A and B are shown apart, each in its own frame.
Chain A
Amino acid sequence: MTIIEKFEPDKQKNGFSKKYACLVAAGLFILIVVEIWASNNVVEYGGKLEKLSLLSKRLNTENQLLKNEIASSESLNFVASKSAELGFSPPESIQYIR
Chain B
Amino acid sequence: MRILWIRAILLIFLSLIVIRLFYWQIVRAEFLQSQADNQHFTDTTLDAVRGDIFFSDGSILTSSNPSFTLYGLPKEIAKDQKIQISYLLAKALSESQDNIDDLAKELVNNLEKDLYWVPLKKKISFDQKKQIEKLISKGIGFNQGSSRFYPEGSSSAHLLGFVNSDAKGNFGLEGYFDGELKGISGSIRHERDALGLPILIGEFLTNDARNGKNLILNIDRSVQYIVEQALKKGVEKYGAKAGSIVVMEPGTGGILAMASFPNYHPEKYFDYPKEFYRNPVVADHYEPGSTFKVLVMAAALNEDLVGPDTKCDSCSGPISVGGFTIRTWDNKYYPDSTLKDVIVHSDNTGMVFVARKLGLDKFYSYLDNFGFGQPTNIDLQDESSPDIRPKNSWREIDLVTASFGQGIAVTPIQMVTAVSAIANGGNLMEPHIVKEITNDQGSFTVNPKVVRKVIKDSSSQVIKEMMVAAVEEGEARVLRLKGFKIAGKTGTAQIPVAGHYDEDKTIASFVGFAPADNPKFVMLVRFDEPSSSIFGSETAAPTFFEIAKQLLFYYKIAPIAE
Contact = CB atoms under 8 A, between A and B. Distances in A.
B369 interface: no
Nearest to A79: B225
Given A43-B193, A61-B66, A68 B198 contact: no
A65 B193 contact: no
A22 interface: no
Interface in B198-249: 198-201, 221-222, 225
A67 B152 contact: no
A38 B197 CA distance: 16
A96 B59 CA distance: 30
Contacts of A33: none
Interface of A: 42-43, 45-47, 49-50, 57, 61-62, 64-65, 67-68, 71-72, 74-77, 80, 94, 96, 98
A65 B225 contact: no
B197 A74 contact: no
B66 A76 contact: no
Contact of B559 (A47, A64, A68, A96): A96
Given A43-B193, A65-B66, A65-B126, A96 B558 contact: yes
Nearest to B60: A71
Among A42, A61, A76, the one with the most B-chain Cβ atoms within 10 Å of its Cβ is A76
Q: Which of under 10, 10 to 19, 20 to 34, or 35 or more describes the interface residues of B?
A: 20 to 34
Q: Which 7 A-B pairs have the closest CB atoms?
A: A71-B151, A71-B60, A46-B197, A76-B225, A75-B151, A61-B66, A72-B151
A89 to B, nearest CB: 14
Nearest to B229: A80
B335 interface: no
Given A76-B225, A77-B153, A68 B197 contact: no
A42 B204 CA distance: 14
A35 B193 CA distance: 17
Nearest to B153: A77
B59 A49 contact: no
A98 B561 contact: yes
A88 to B, nearest CB: 15
Given A71-B63, A74-B151, A61 B126 contact: yes
A71 to B, nearest CB: 4
A5 B426 CA distance: 121
A41 to B, nearest CB: 9
A18 B67 CA distance: 69
Contact of B149 (A42, A47, A57, A68): A68
Interface of B: 59-60, 63-66, 126, 144, 149, 151-153, 155, 192-193, 195, 197-201, 221-222, 225, 553, 558-559, 561
Contacts of B192: 46
Contacts of B153: 75, 77
A43 B197 contact: yes
A32 to B, nearest CB: 16
A76 B149 contact: no
Mostly, the A contact residues are helix
A94 B201 CA distance: 72
A63 to B, nearest CB: 10
Contacts of B152: 75-77
Nearest to A69: B151
Contact of A68 (B59, B65, B195, B221): B65
Contacts of B553: 94
Contacts of B193: 43, 46
Contacts of B558: 96, 98
Nearest to A61: B66
Contacts of B221: 76
A30 B66 CA distance: 50
A93 to B, nearest CB: 11
A32 B152 CA distance: 64
Contacts of B222: 76
Nearest to B197: A46
Contacts of B195: 47
Contacts of A43: 193, 197, 199
Nearest to A97: B558
Nearest to B559: A96
Contacts of A72: 151
A77 to B, nearest CB: 6
12 contacts: A43-B193, A45-B200, A46-B197, A49-B198, A62-B126, A65-B65, A75-B153, A77-B152, A77-B155, A77-B225, A94-B553, A98-B561
